[in-house]
Structure 1
Amino acid sequence: MKKIVFLTGLIFILLLSACSGEKEQVELLDQPYSKTEFLMGTVVTLKVYDKGKEEAIDKSFERIKKLAAEITTSDAGKSEIDKVNQNAGIKPVKVTSDMFYLVEEGIKYSKASDGDFDITVGPLTDLWHIGFSDAKKPTEAEIQAVLPLIDYKKVEMNKEEQSIYLPEKGMALDLGGIAKGYIADEVNKVMKGEGVTSAIIDLGGNIFVRGDNPKGGNWTIGIQNPFETRGQTIGKLPGSDISVVTSGIYERYLEVDGVKYHHILSPFTGYPCNNELAGVSIVSKKSIDGDGLSTAVFMKGVKDGMAYVDSFKDVEAIFVTKDKQVYVTDGLKDKFELTDKAFKMAELDGKGEK
């Protein structure tokens, strides 16, 4: 039984041509080389449009599988992160350079968010286990027992030894909040090394579009309606060489006595975050930024979340509230186009709808 769920995201790509422009001397295919596999608990699809670059897909999947084997925790206890968690309160564990970097980045995002995102939330996610057949609503006593174990500041990193140590027994890393973003960035590096100029990297909804749409110009990225099944959008935006990652409450949840408990858990209360938001999409140049920020931004709500996003370079966001209001950061105001009339654009300054 896996302990980390790599969530199926709330985004998909609309293969629509945008304004055309002069293309480089690269032959692009109308129908891409494409491969889909079920990995990390989700559907992974890679598409390459450069003629003669099909091998880049196989090399990318090799990279994905290697990293997934190091990250994904399970009862088998064979991954790098499994070993770190198993030795909590016992001893430091030497890990690969990939895992050391990933945990370092996780600590960075945890610190930047003041703990709204915390990579040591493992004891809490294990307790609720939302998304698995044994998911349950824990008792208040169970929640209070694990909360003291959640504190990213306690993680000890030894760069010289390349080791990680969790000093208290019962502590556990959960990298599900940043792993797919990191892997998407690594796949993009593989494709760049292989000379791929046009591709779609879809790690279960963590989307990265490389280069331009083969039909000319930017890709058109559809933003999922968080109240509907995957494939129904509320709007769209153009882009190339960007990542879009979404966190939302309707994707995965546990229902108990008519109450739905979603999977975005607060490291402070031990319960699912309860605010005005239904979904948040992060648009960034690096997919790990989208992953690392989406959970924290969701936790902070519209006002504080928007201010938080503004503190990062090359990062934008789209907020969808439970009452179907849509807010976007300044960098997207001339790019995001609302297409569903059931939703309304809104402003934080009290001026109302656009």
Structure 2
Amino acid sequence: MGRHFGRRRFLTAAAVAVAGAAVSFLPNPFAAGGEKRNMDKKRDENVFFWKGVALGSGAELRLFGVDDRQAADWVNKVLAEVARLEKMFSLYREDSLISRLNRDGYLTSPPADSLELLSLCRDIHALTEGAFDSTVQALWKLYADYFAARPDAETPPENSVKETLKRVGFGKVSFDDREIRFAEKGMGLSLNGIAQGYVTDKVVALLKANGVPAALVDMGEIRGFDTNGRRMWNVGIRNPDDEEGVLANITVKDKAFATSGGYGTVMDKAGRLTHLFDPRTGVSTPRYKSMSVMADDAAVADALSTAFSVMDLPLIRSVAESRRLKVRLAMPDNIVD
């Protein structure tokens, strides 16, 4: 298999105070259980760092202007919320709700969070004319199984892709408060293109509800907030070919930012085919080196960075203008638009 470069590592971040002093967070090491440091002596502000795992990948949390006891309490609440959501949406857990749904083809009495997320999936599917489709799991399985047995092959046979596409299409998923059900046997959901953003949004809502004054949350996608409106978040889009290189820097204030890259996971030994499938065609060939979206919510930024990765530029521009989004894309030659 080719190189793996997790999409979460496409972003670096720093906080900029109103006075203009910068506090750099990456690549500083964080203690696994959390670490509080006085990072800005001029303002004498305490910053609490936590680093761990959410939905199978690295997660980070930075709380500003907090004391030890407050931070410990808030982090415990965040961990409980992440654990609750992982039980629904994680494909890494055989006992999760999504794993049960994929195994059985239906799920009775689905929780409100799952219905909320599926409703958002439906909206983004329509907005992107089918480019975002959470039923892409069947394609993932086809490619993964094919190249596991034939690592030097070029692409799966066209007839296999066409047959698999019969089990792809969000219109074949019905859901209400009674049940979620697939219309075709062998279908499967993957929320990996939106769940990290959704979890980030839920953590932000939890922190705000508990009176946290400011935080930078990364549960797979980044979202920062400051109730005093002082901070801006400088987000660097890393070069997939160089973990220390940055393609561009973006300033975010009370927004979410997500980046998808075809180089996050490659399917074949040659590294030509990626995990970013076009659910309309079954094609797995990267159009762009990376795709970044800034939006009010991390779930929307997450889903659209995924969808835009397989869309033509005119449709990307149309969607971005209609939703007042900021988009930055890197072409294969590293030119950032």
Q: What does residue 245 of structure 2 align with?
A: 232
Deviation, structure 1 residue 154? 1.5
Match of 1:203 among 219, 228, 233: 219
Q: Structure 2 counterpart of 1:265, which letter?
A: F
Please tell me the residue identity of whatever aligns with 1:103: L
| Pair 1:319–1:107, CA change in 2 (3 A) | same
1:175-220 deviations in Å (ceiling 9; x for gaps)? 111101110000001110111121111124x111121799x54222
How far apart are residue 49 of structure 1 and its match? 1.1
Distance 2:159 2:86 in 1: 34
Note the alpha carbon deviations across 1:265-289, whole angstroms, 9 max, x for none.
11122221343x2111101110011
For 1:14-33, what per-residue CA distance to the aligned partner results, in whole angstroms no more than 9, with x for missing partners? 24445459xxxxxx864411
Q: Residue 61 of structure 2: which of 46, 57, 60 is its match?
A: 46
Residue 330 of structure 2 is aligned to residue 320 of structure 1: yes
Cα deviation 1:279-333 (Å, max 9, x = unaligned): 11101110011011111112113333122211114x2111111123221xxxxxx
Give the whole-Å Cα distance in 1 for the aligned partners of 2:148 and 2:53: 19
Contact (CA 8 Å) 2:46, 2:64: kept in 1 or not? yes
How many residues in Structure 1 have an aligned counterpart in Structure 2? 305
1:127-183 per-position Cα deviation (integer Å, ceiling 9, x unaligned): 2239x9889654434322211110111211224x2x211121111111111101110
Aligned partners of 1:92, 1:234: CA distance in 2, in Å? Answer: 43
| Number of the residue aligned with 2:86 | 68
- The Cα RMSD (Å) is 2.7
**Contact 1:12-1:207 within 8 A present in 2 as well:** no
Where in structure 2 are the equivalents of 1:183-202 lying within 5 Å? 183-202=199-218
The answer on whether the counterparts of 1:106 and 1:118 sit within 8 Å (CA) in structure 2 is yes
Preserved contact between residue 276 and residue 286 of structure 2 (Cα < 8 Å) = no
State whether residues 92 and 166 of structure 1, in contact with CA within 8 Å, keep that contact through their aligned partners in structure 2: no
Query: Could you tell me how far apart the structure 2 residues matched to 1:109 and 1:286 are?
Result: 13
Q: Which sections of structure 2, spanning at least 5 residues, go unmatched?
A: 22-42
Q: Does the 8 Å contact 1:262/1:272 carry over to 2?
A: yes
The equivalent residue for 1:306 is 317
Partner of 1:262: 274
Q: TM-score, normalised by structure 2?
A: 0.82
CA distance in 1, matches of 2:100, 2:231: 46
- Percent identity between the two aligned chains: 22
Aligned residue identity for 1:114: E
- Could you tell me how far apart the structure 1 residues matched to 2:17 and 2:183 are? 53
**For each residue in 1:22-55, what CA deviation from the matched residue of structure 2 results, as whole angstroms up to 9, or x when unmatched?**
xxxxxx8644112111232211111111223302
Q: Which runs of 5+ in 1 are unaligned?
A: 22-27, 328-354
State the alpha-carbon separation in 1 of the partners of residues 286 and 234 from structure 2.
31
Structure 1 pair 213/158, CA: closer, same or farther in 2 (3 Å)? closer
The within-5 A match list for 1:42-121 is 42-52=57-67, 53-54=70-71, 55-74=73-92, 77-88=94-105, 91=106, 93-121=108-136
> Are the counterparts in 1 of residues 263 and 289 from structure 2 also a CA contact under 8 Å?
yes
Q: Distance in 1 between matches of 2:150 and 2:323?
A: 35
8 Å contact kept, 1:222–1:237: yes
Indicate conservation of the 8 Å contact 1:212/1:240, yes or no. Answer: no
SS at the partner of 1:232?
strand
Alignment match, 2:33: none
